[in-house]
Amino acid sequence: MALPVSCREVFSSIEGCGYWFSAAVSPGEAEAIIQGLGIVLLVTDVTVRPGKALVTSDQALDYHTDHHRADFICWHCIEQTDQGGETMLLDSYQLLAGLPPATAAKLRQIQLHEHKVFNGDQERFPLLSKRFDRDKLYYSFWMLKGGVQQELKAAFMEFKRLTEEASPIRFKLQPGDFLIIDNGRMLHGRTAIQGHKPRHLRRFWIAKPNPNEGEPHASIGNTGSYFAEANQPA
Ligand SMILES: [Fe+2]
């Protein structure tokens, strides 16, 4: 299939600014790009529907990263509501650069709670770690649970304050729009979903193969079935 861009171009954009965006991407093109990025771990249809999962609620979502095993998150827009539902991105590397080194060092000591999605998942994951020789951020402010040393909590709140003061990159995704982010770098959130039209994004969690880890486990595999029934929401 002829792609609108090469995967090298997509990687280059993500490497440079943390994300890649294109309008008018067909399902086949999206699938080809996704297959070039890595291994599909999970596919979720993000729509508003009853249940406890925040991602499929109509609520605004504050800045966070998704599951730590997703190196990339891809959203392909199928339908968009007529009010709200904007995607917001923040570059954590820029935020971290604004922190004193001592504060960043404290962030590396913080373990955040994480929902179990895959077999073998642990209950916690470090807020700041290393992957592919780069900083990897895992962040959800509501996942700071249990007793935390005061000095670590102060560092955490300082980082949270930076997220609140920063100006996000905003996308109101339209049908055919395709957005990919580095989930270890870019925080994402969204505004509340309002309006009278349904909103439907197909979300893909992608693991970048790591020669030191072998094949990612618990993947659904790259079956080439973009429209295969999506997995349960995370
Ligand atoms: Fe998310």
Domain locations along the chain: 8-47+57-207
117 CA to centre of ligand 1 in angstroms:
13
2 CA to centre of ligand 1 in angstroms:
30
Tell me the one-letter amino acid at 71: D
202 CA to centre of ligand 1 in angstroms:
12
59 CB neighbour count, 10 Å cutoff: 13
| Interval 53-105: pLDDT, tens | 888 889 999 999 999 999 999 999 999 999 999 999 999 999 999 999 999 99
| Interval 122-149: pLDDT, tens | 999 999 999 988 999 999 888 887 778 8
Strand ranges (DSSP E) for 13-100?
Answer: 19-22, 39-47, 61-64, 72-79, 83-84, 87-91
Q: Check residue 234 and give its pLDDT.
A: 42
183 CA to centre of ligand 1 in angstroms:
9
Q: Check residue 169 and give its pLDDT.
A: 98
Question: According to CATH, what is the number of the domain 8-47+57-207?
Answer: 3.60.130.10
Instruction: Say if residues 138 and 125 touch (Cβ distance below 8 Å).
Output: yes
66 CA to centre of ligand 1 in angstroms:
5
67 CA to centre of ligand 1 in angstroms:
8
